[in-house]
Amino acid sequence: MRILVVNPNTTASMTATIEAAARRAAAGTTVIEAVTSSMGPASIEGYYDEALAVPGLLEEIARGEEADADAAIIACFDDTGLDAARAMAGIPVIGICEAALSLAAFIAQRFTVVTTTERSRVPVEGLVARYGMGLRARVRAADIPVLSLEDPASNAAAKLRAEIVRALEDDRAEAIVLGCAGMADLAAELQGEFGVPVVDGVGAAVKQAEALVTLGLTTGKRGAYAFPARKAYTGALAGFAPSKAVA
């Protein structure tokens, strides 16, 4: 089984963090192929970056599907472009937010997502609501720019820990969800340190992708996720005319 993991921002060092987390989670028989988007923002912080990360992301998923990937993962906690990718692709596509929330729901009644910046807090609250966890999960921002997670000299890890403490005390969280792909390498350490389950979305998504492939399940194609309708695309995005389009 080959699982494509797309880092939808253009920062290769973050892809390395993501790839390592994905490999730790993967079954022995699963091949992880991690790629970095070649167009768009260097990090995804809020709605604007999210929207502009989508074309590069879709390009990588289309390329991966052609190269026989069995499933694709969008390794950004905003699950950016997820619906578009599902409509475009024949293979299943998983977002790391939805994957993390799904696993957290199996081990805790109440949990807290700790994400990076205020620009991302409300969008993640929107995902929590969309995925039906509005009564169970809270979202906190640790005031950490995404790329500071790549910088050992920053105080990002300290701020993250401080926010986890607040989640445990004020929210009475029974588990913590790490709200950024760039935090994937911290899950095990934080779990040991705080004595509560700490869920990383990258590993979670790998397992969900394996689950779907093993069970022979892929995106249903008779409604909102039908393959796109055939049509012209223009200008800088002319190359995006949907290749699997139907009449």
58 touches its own copies (CB under 8 A): yes
211 binds its own copies (CB under 8 A): yes
Q: What residues numbered 59-78 form the site for its own copies, per CB under 8 A?
A: none
Among residues 66, 37, 62, 67, which one has the least CA distance to residue 181?
37
13 touches its own copies (CB under 8 A): no
Distance CA 128, CA 153 (A): 32
Least separation in angstroms between CB 39 and its own copies: 3
Q: Indicate the residue among 160 and 199 with the shorter CB distance to its own copies.
A: 199
Sheet (strand 2-7) strand order: 31-36, 2-7, 71-74, 93-95
Please pick, from the candidates 86, 96, 113, 190, the single residue that binds its own copies as defined by CB under 8 A. 86
Closest distance to its own copies from the beta carbon of 153 (Å): 18
Residue 191 near its own copies by CB under 8 A: yes
The alpha carbons of the chain give a radius of gyration, in whole angstroms, of 17
Least gap, CB of 160 to its own copies (angstroms): 18
Sequence-separated (6 or more) residues with CB below 8 Å from residue 64: 4, 6, 33, 35, 72
Number of residues lying near its own copies (CB under 8 A): 101
For residues 111-170, which are near its own copies according to CB under 8 A? 111, 117-119, 121-123, 126, 129-136, 145, 168
31 lines the binding site for its own copies (CB under 8 A): no
Q: What is the longest distance spanned by two Cα atoms in the chain?
A: 55
The DSSP letter of residue 245 is: -
